[in-house]
Chains A and B, each alone.
Chain A
């Protein structure tokens, strides 16, 4: 599922959170959230930090490079595009 999503993504894609979705930190619960019309997605672990880089200006390569700089030992070059592809498939990123 994740590979099919990323293979169809345009190379110049600059991910940004969809307009109907609110990405915010929940200070009450201490977690990052995606707020949708009938759903709340709790972003666990590093997920919030990845979505925070989806500003519509960075392309996927720039997001990966930034995360690789922050987390030199993490497999970001494979996992991050797959994660972004899943969020695109859900309609949460555009």
Chain B
């Protein structure tokens, strides 16, 4: 249908016949308010190089972005980070979103959430909270998160429920907690969660550094799936259990973001607009900023958002594959991270010529669990005394010291 396949990811949009079709409006905006975080989770999918606090958009700039997003068609926003509670002006950002008619969900570690803060956020129009959990056992959770936070999370969950907001939990799954899936769900029941997102680790940003330690044995995934199906039947109508599939183990490309620039967009702390939260590295200097350009142009016309929109960019085996309407060619960021070429088929797909890269890693992960050894981000200076710098084997973690 079009010319020769592209040779790299550097061609902005390539030649097209006529003007590109006007895209459907976006439904959702992921607003990463800060990269600062009290935790240093081994699986963090934020980039290795984080935005500094001084580069962050102000509350007024966020208010403008949210108004533009609403005009564009955005009806939901996830206020995330990093830890969005580190923004003292968070209530102003929530109020701006709510005022623009956008449903707001706070995505938080729960650390430092206290009663007055919840009340202020509810008053500003916050509708829902999603709380991260790392492991049902506090000591194991601290090892994964690089900081002790289980007690703070339990308190945060209680405050959210007392404020009458729906509570979702988000557990990133990997080798060290897949076998604890039922206990994670029990924790959610005890904390009054309406929904638990059981999200197998996606390997981007910092998580890629810890891939060997995080990748599960395929047997763990199979057991977890079995448990999930049983729990779903038991908890039907009480709690929603969402499963985000492990694409490496499944050898199946995910329908990443529902297609590039198709459903949602991300704005990072410094105002960079991305079609996918992991796309900063792939786009480099081509990523547009809300400080320079209107969001409408960014969504409809920017090279960054049009580059992999639709199917014109696809090569074989995607181009003639019936799965392209299901998985949209998989994840561009993963293709870039693993092959250096964002226009290749996602190597997670068993039909990808690069799938051997992934299969080899999964095969190497077969076998019994070994002690977790993670590389942590450098903690912020004020956290230096609390967060461990080095991984310890789990048996040395002491749940009794949990605060």
Contacts and interface: CB of A to CB of B under 8 A. Distances in A.
Contacts of A26: 73, 75
Most interface-central of B71, B101, B130, B168 (chain A CB within 10 A): B101
Given A20-B127, A22-B101, A24-B101, A40 B75 contact: yes
A19 B130 contact: no
A3 B71 CA distance: 40
Given A37-B127, A40-B75, A29 B25 contact: yes
Given A20-B127, A22-B127, A29-B25, A38 B73 contact: no
B166 interface: yes
A46 interface: no
Interface residues of B, number: 20
A35 B71 CA distance: 16
A26 B70 CA distance: 9
Interface in A1-26: 19-22, 24, 26
A26 B76 CA distance: 12
A36 interface: yes
A37 B75 contact: no
B174 interface: no
A33 interface: yes
A20 B75 contact: no
B358 interface: no
Most interface-central of B25, B73, B166, B168 (chain A CB within 10 A): B166
Interface in B113-155: 127-128, 130
Contact of A28 (B72, B76, B127): B72
Interface string A34-63: 011110100000000000000000000000
B27 A20 contact: no
B294 interface: no
Nearest to B125: A22
A70 to B, nearest CB: 26
Given A22-B103, A28-B72, A37 B130 contact: yes
Contacts of B168: 37-38
Given A37-B128, A38-B195, A19 B76 contact: no
Contact of A35 (B76, B194, B242): B76
Range for the number of chain A residues in contact with chain B: 10 to 19
A70 B76 CA distance: 32
B156 to A, nearest CB: 16
Contact of B73 (A20, A21, A22, A28): A28
Interface in B69-87: 71-73, 75-76
Given A33-B75, A38-B195, A28 B25 contact: yes
Contacts of B27: 40
A54 to B, nearest CB: 17
Contacts of B224: none
Contacts of A24: 75, 101
Contacts of A40: 27, 75-76
B161 to A, nearest CB: 12
B76 A20 contact: no
Given A22-B101, A37-B128, A29 B165 contact: no
A33 B72 CA distance: 16
A5 to B, nearest CB: 12
Contacts of B165: 19-20
B347 to A, nearest CB: 29
A43 to B, nearest CB: 13
A21 to B, nearest CB: 8
A36 B104 CA distance: 9
A19 B122 CA distance: 10
Given A19-B164, A20-B127, A36 B75 contact: no
Given A28-B71, A38-B105, 8 more contacts: A19-B127, A20-B127, A24-B75, A24-B101, A26-B75, A36-B103, A37-B168, A38-B168
Interface of A: 19-22, 24, 26, 28-29, 33, 35-38, 40
Q: Which 6 A-B pairs have the closest CB atoms?
A: A35-B103, A37-B128, A28-B73, A20-B166, A22-B103, A20-B127
27 contacts: A19-B127, A19-B164, A20-B165, A20-B166, A21-B127, A22-B101, A22-B127, A28-B25, A28-B71, A28-B73, A29-B25, A33-B75, A35-B75, A35-B76, A35-B103, A35-B127, A36-B128, A37-B105, A37-B127, A37-B130, A37-B166, A37-B168, A37-B194, A38-B105, A38-B168, A38-B242, A40-B76
